[in-house]
Amino acid sequence: MTRRPGDLKLVFVNAVWVILLTISLLAGALSGKPAAVGEGALNAAGDAVKLAIGLVGVMSLWLGLMRVAEEAGLVKLLARAVRFVLAPLFREVPRDHPALSAIFMNISANAFGLGNAATPLGIKAMEELQTLNPQKERITNAQALFVAINTASVTLIPATVIALRVSAHSKNPAEIILPTLGATACALTAAIVTAKLLEKRT
């Protein structure tokens, strides 16, 4: 019986977690604070549950809005509106494909610093790009480019970070807008150029 690549990845991830857990327990025992390891694990588990519940709500909302927009034909209209901007970058994607509108909406959400809101849109875009993938086990150039753009997307208004700075009682929580814009613009340019250069080697 041969194992699929996905099974091997799962075994590797499980092994990594076992190693990390073992190291943590040993470190706690050697430092004389084994209870702190358990307390930290419980606190982290609670934080993970809160994060997951928050993401489920946001993802449900945005995926629902995407479904409504798709059924109403707004997705196709949006794709036509942005195809002149995105089509030169994503030449493998047909100009009337819904993946272009999903990519645009993901970029828009990232531009306003709405990281959680951008997540379901990014997943939707990858799903649409996957429908154009002739080799399902291998990522396409369009998918790789989208991942690069999504990771290094330009942020016009880092809303989430500003909210965190407000909660931390920052005197000027919005002062990071210009530095963030400059840094993310440089990152996006580097990501696109790198992805396009690597495309020529495949």
The residue segments making up the domain with residue 172 are 73-199
Share above pLDDT 90 across residues of the chain, in percent, rounded to a whole number = 2
Q: Please state the separation of Cα 162 from the chain's center in Å.
A: 20
Helical segments of 72-176, H only: 74-86, 98-111, 115-130, 141-151, 159-167
- Residue matched to tokens 């613009």: 185
Terminal C-alpha separation, the chain:
32
What's the pLDDT at 6?
Answer: 54
Tell whether pTM > 0.75.
no
Determine, yes or no, domain membership for 79: yes
Contacts of 130 (CB under 8 A, 6+ apart): 136, 143
Rg of the chain over all Cα atoms, to the nearest angstrom: 21
Of 89, 123, 124, 121, the closest CA to residue 106 belongs to 121
Determine, yes or no, domain membership for 96: yes
Determine, yes or no, domain membership for 26: no
What's the pLDDT at 167?
Answer: 65
Determine, yes or no, domain membership for 83: yes
Angle at which helices 34-71 and 5-31 pack, to 10 degrees?
A: 150
Q: What is the pLDDT of residues 39-56, one digit of tens each?
A: 777 787 787 777 667 656
Q: What is the pLDDT of residues 151-197, one digit of tens each?
A: 888 877 776 677 667 767 788 888 888 988 899 899 989 998 998 88
Determine, yes or no, domain membership for 132: yes
The tally of domains found in the chain comes to 1
The pair of three-digit structure tokens given for residue 68, joined into one six-digit string:
């409504």
Determine, yes or no, domain membership for 103: yes
Determine, yes or no, domain membership for 126: yes
Determine, yes or no, domain membership for 131: yes
Query: Rounded distance, CA 188 to CA 125, Å?
Result: 18
Q: What is the pLDDT of residues 111-131, one digit of tens each?
A: 776 666 677 888 888 898 898
Rounded to the nearest 5°, which phi and psi values hold at 114? Answer: -95, 75
